[in-house]
Amino acid sequence: MWLRWFTVFLIGLLAPSFLYAQEKTARNVRNAVFLALEDVQQKNDVPEFLKPLINLELSFIKRVCDPSDDQMTAMVKEAENVIGVMSDIVGVPGQVRMGGDVGALFRGPNQEQLVGNPFHRVRTEMAIFVKPILTAEQYDRYFEESKQRDEFEREVAVGIAVELLDSKLVLTSEQRTQLTDKLMQGWKQVDFQWLQSYQNNPQYLPTMPSDLIEPILTSTQKKLWNAVNRTRVTLHVYMGNANSFGLEEEWIK
């Protein structure tokens, strides 16, 4: 309880500057507020909210690779280690930034700022841990399915990006195809859940790689692009809690 009051007190101290701040200052203050909140919350070093993601990946492997009971037991045991390896996913508050290849900012269920994409991270770590347990043929199957899943998710994300741009700039059919190709080739970190938030808030645009977009636009579209580009706002992807995961296969508790 005292921690909560301390956090409220800390927020209170920041209030006057918060109220009168211009946007830039407001952003700094917001980071400081999150810092205070997250300091309280990060006492718990094990990111429990990752467990449903790991369980999901185990269920995925089960369906794709058809492992034996022994293999499944061994993978579940290894999966326990994945959580430990991933404790660094909870970033230092205020220091988590989008990378050079513009991606998404994820937050945990208690506002933890996450480093990178937790879905991709779980998949990468799990692939390392289960490789020695699966046969080469099973692993190849897993690798191929996982790759297709990533590609599908990225196609979905790029589709949303092109839709957002199309609604603002009115692209020709050729431009849409060119943009889709360019973004698929060059925008590796994009996440569909992140762009989905912008579909629901069409007054904003996400930060997008201008170097891939601008060469395709006409001069009029560039003018529109520069105008809409000024209204960029960074929205976060919030991780749900375990209840939002529907499959009743709880491999690790």
Please give the residue ranges that form the binding site for other proteins (CB under 8 A).
8, 11-16, 18-20, 22-23, 26, 30, 33, 56-57, 59-60, 62-64, 119, 145, 148-149, 152-153, 155-156, 159-160, 163, 166-170, 192-193, 196, 199-203, 220-221, 223-224, 227, 233, 235, 244-249
Q: Which residue, 70 or 173, is less far from other proteins as judged by CB?
A: 173
Q: Which residue, 44 or 240, is less far from other proteins as judged by CB?
A: 240
Q: What are the DSSP calls for 185-242, one per residue?
A: HH--S--HHHHHHHHS-TT-B----HHHHGGGS-HHHHHHHHHHHTTB--PEEEP--G
CB of residue 23 to other proteins, shortest distance in Å: 5
CA distances from 231 to 57, 120, 182 (A): 37, 29, 23
d(C-alpha 247, C-alpha 253), whole Å: 14
CB of residue 233 to other proteins, shortest distance in Å: 6
CB of residue 205 to other proteins, shortest distance in Å: 13
| Assigned token pair, 20 | 């009168």
Residue whose tokens read 């799990």: 126
**Coil, strand or helix at 105:** strand
d(C-alpha 92, C-alpha 69), whole Å: 40
Q: Which residue, 3 or 44, is less far from other proteins as judged by CB?
A: 3
CB of residue 246 to other proteins, shortest distance in Å: 3
Q: Which residue, 44 or 226, is less far from other proteins as judged by CB?
A: 226
CB of residue 228 to other proteins, shortest distance in Å: 8
